[in-house]
Structure 1
Amino acid sequence: RRLQDGDEKEAAAATAAEEEATAVELTEVQRFLVGFQELRSGDAFDGEQLNELRTVEDVVTVLGLAPMIALSAYTAITGNCDYPSYAVAGLLALGTGVAHCALAYRTPRDWRAPRLGEGRTIYEFSGCYLLAFGWLLERMNPAFPAALEVADFPMCVALTAVVLYGFVVPAVVKADLVAANEPGYEGRLQPSTPEYQAESQMFLTGNVVVNVLGALFLPFAWTLAFRGTEWWERVQALHPSQAAFMGLSVLVAITGDDLGAFSFRVFEKRAIRTAFGLVTAGIVFNFLFLITPEIIFNTLYSSGVSEVGFYWE
C-alpha cells in the first residue's frame, strides 16, 4: 500500500512538473486560464499538506480572517458602520501584521527572485501593509484617542510608502528575473529555472495590481490627517452611508492582503500545487470576499455615499 501511495505521489509530482514546464511558454493571461482549469478539476489543491499550517502565525492569520470577512458581509448587507467591531478588526489587522513580520523573520531570503517575488519579502510587505491599514481603520473611529492624532502625518507617510513600494518595486524589478540568467549579470539575484521565473513573475504582477488599487485610499488618509476628525464627522452627517462605505473599503483591503499572504503560505507548503492555481484562487477569493461586498453595498446604499465630493466638504 505504501509503495502504491509513493508511486502515485511520484506520478502526480511528475505530472505537475511537466505542466509547469509547458506553462513557461504561455503568456500570463494563458497562465491564469491554466489556473482556472486546475481549480475546476480540483487539481490545484493537496489537502494533505494543510497539516503543515500549524504555526502561531498561521493560526493568528486564520483567526483574523474569519471575523473580517464576516464583518465585511454584515456591513455590505446592512449598510451599518459598527465602529466597535471595526475597532476590533483594526486590532486584528495590527496583530496579524505583527505575525506576518515574525513569519518573514523566520523565512530565508530566496535570492533567485527580486523583492515581492519570493516568500520573505512578501511576508515583510504584508506585515507592513496590515500595520498601516490597521491604523487607518482605527483612525476612522470617532473614539480614536485625540492624543494619538499626532501620529497622523507619520502614519500617512508610512501608508504612502507601503502602497507605492507595493506596485513600483514589482513593476521595476520584473526584468531582473530574466537578467539574472544572462552572462555578465552583476546583480545579487541567482540564476533560476524558467518554471521558477514564471511563478515569480505572477507574484510580482499580482502585487502591482493589488497595490495600484491600494493607492485609492491615500487621498482619504491624507485628507483625514490634514482636516482632522471634525471634517470626518461633518462628512458622516452629510452622507449617512459614507462611514460604512469607507470602513468596508478599508476592511476589504486588509482582508485582501491578509488572504493573499495566507494563500502564498498555503502555496509555500504545497497545499496549492502551482503558482497558477494560487494566483487564480486569489482572484476567485478576492471576488467573493472583497468585490462582492462592495457590489452589494453600492447597489443598496449608494444614495448615502459621496464618491469624491466629500473631500471638499
Structure 2
Amino acid sequence: MADFNLTPSDPSTFILNGIPGLEAAHIWISIPFSMFFAIGLLGNFMLLFVVSKEQTLHKPMYLLLCMLALTDIATSTSVVPKALCIFWFSLKGITVGGCLTQMFFLHAVSMMQSAVLVTMAFDRYVAICNPLKYATILTNARIAKLGLVGLIRAVLFILPLPLLLSRLPFCANRIIPHTYCEHMAVLKMSCGDVSVNRMYGLVIAFVVNGLDLTLIALSYGLIIRAVLRISSKEAHQKALSTCTAHICVMLMSYPPFFYSILTHRFGQGIAPHIHIILANLYFLLPNMLNPIIYGVKTKELREKVVKCTFRMCSLRATDFKPS
C-alpha cells in the first residue's frame, strides 16, 4: 500500500508510525481495534440514551455514569480514527498543531475521567455511610458543579503541556513511533532543553492523579470501616456489591495509565510494540467494558436498557407491519 503521508522533513508535520515492528500486521491489528471501538461507542451511546429518556434514572449516580461515558467516547474517538487511518491507508502525517491539540485533548479528558472516578467514590461513600442524607448531600446540581470543577481543573493543568512544547525546537527526524500524540513521545522529538517539560509532566501524573487516588482510598477506607460495624453478613455483601463496578473501572483506568507513564521514562527494556499496543488498549478496553460492567452490576440500569431495547424493537416491527 502506498504511503499517502507527508515527508518527515516537512517542518510543519510529524509522522505517526503506528506500531513499530508490526507494520506488516497493521491490517490484522485494525480488526480488534475497530471492533472494540464500535462496541464501546454502541454501549456508551446506549447508556446516554437510556439515562436521558428514563426519568427514574435522573439521579446523581447515573449522571456520573453519563460523565464517565462521555469521557470514554471522547478519548476513544480522538485516538482510534487516526490509528485506523494509519493501519488502513498509511495516512501517517499530522500537523504539529494537530498533534499538540490531540495531546491536550487526550490528557485533559483522562484527567477529567480521574475527577469523575473520585466523585463516584464520594458518591459510594455517602450512599453507604450516610444513606439518609444522600438526597440532600448529592443532588444533580451539585454533581454537575463537581463535574464542571473537574473540567476546569483538567484544562488548567493540561494546557501548559502543549504551550511548553510549542516553544521547543524539533529535530529533523519527526517520526513518532506511536499511533497518537502522547506527551512523552512528542517530547522525545525535541532537540531543546526538555527538563521543565519532563518535570511538569511528572508532577501532573503523580501529584494530581496521586491526590485523586488518595481521596479514593480515603473514601473506601471510611466505607470499609462503616461496613465492618454492620453485624449482618448479608448487609456486608449488599454494601460492598454497590462498589464492585466502580472498583473494576478504577482497576482498568489507573494501572495502565501509570504503566504508560513509567514505561516512557524508565522502560527502555520493554519492546516498543508491546508498549504501544498496551497504550492503545488503555483507551479501548475501558471504553468498551465500562458500560457493560455497570449494565451487569446495576439492576435498575439493566432493566431500563432491556425495556428501551424491547420498546425500540416493537416500534421497528410496527413500522414494517403491512397496512
Shorter-chain TM range is: 0.3 to 0.5
TM-score, normalized by length of structure 1?
0.41
TM-score, normalized by length of structure 2?
0.40
